[in-house]
Amino acid sequence: MPATYISEKIIARLSLYRRLLSNLLLDGVQNVYSHQLATMAGVSAAQVRRDMMAVGYNGTPVKGYTISDLIESIDRMLDSTHGQTVAIVGMGNLGRAIAAYFGNRKPNLSVRAAFDNDVEKIGHIVDGIECFHVSEFPRVAEERKIEVAVITVPAHAAQPVADLLTHSRVKGLLNFAPVRLRVPDDVYVENMDMAVSLEKVAYFARAGAPRRRGQA
144 contacts a copy of itself (rule: CB under 8 A): no
Q: Nearest Cα to 192, choosing from 167, 212, 175?
A: 175
Greatest Cα pair distance in the chain: 61
CB 168 within 8 A of CB 148: no
CB of 61 to a copy of itself, least distance (A): 27
Give the CA count within 13 Å in the CB-facing half-sphere of 174.
15
Q: Residues binding DNA: what is the number (CB under 7 A)?
A: 28
Residue 62 CA to residue 65 CA, distance in Å, equals: 9
- The single residue among 55, 117, 157, 172 that binds a copy of itself, judged by CB under 8 A, is 172
SS3 22: helix
Binding mask 63-102 for DNA (x = CB under 7 A): -xx-------------------------------------
CB of 196 to DNA, least distance (A): 14
94 contacts a copy of itself (rule: CB under 8 A): yes
- The single residue among 22, 44, 84, 117 that binds DNA, judged by CB under 7 A, is 44
47 contacts DNA (rule: CB under 7 A): yes
Q: Would you put residue 155 in left (φ > 0), alpha (ψ -120 to 50) or beta?
A: alpha
CB of 26 to DNA, least distance (A): 21
Look up residue 64 and give its DSSP letter: B
Where do contacts with DNA occur on this chain (CB under 7 A)? Answer: 1, 5, 7, 9-10, 33-35, 43-47, 49-50, 52-53, 57-62, 64-65, 213-214, 216
